[in-house]
Amino acid sequence: MKKCDTAVYNKIKPDYKDTILWFCIGEVYLSFAEDAIKTAGILNLHLYDGEDQNMQIVKLCVFPVNALVPYLQAMVNAHCQIGIC
């Protein structure tokens, strides 16, 4: 199971409840928890199980940075608000 640091997500998500947050980490974009579930559902991507710093299972959705433009377009077309971190 992949370890992931959800501290930043957990800190800022309450201020952006209606926004799906995507984090650029190296060559991929990553979303966590409810944002991952929404992203995967709309974009037909796979969900992964990760483990946060408290050893709790969290859903992850990952896609390569070169897919940003078409995926962002699809999310906007689905009336989603996206925050890129």
Query: 65: domain range?
Result: 2-84
User: Locate tokens 């966590």: which residue?
Assistant: 32
Check pLDDT > 50 for residue 5. yes
Q: Note the pTM of the prediction, 2 decimals.
A: 0.91
Instruction: Quote the pLDDT of residue 1.
Output: 45
* Nearest-angstrom CA–CA distance, 39 and 55: 23
Give the rounded distance of the alpha carbon of 12 from its chain centre.
Answer: 13
pLDDT digits (tens, 9 = 90+) for 42-80: 999 999 998 887 788 999 999 999 999 999 999 999 999
Number of domains in the chain: 1
CATH of the domain at 10: 3.40.1170.10
pLDDT digits (tens, 9 = 90+) for 26-43: 999 999 999 999 999 999
Instruction: Quote the pLDDT of residue 4.
Output: 64
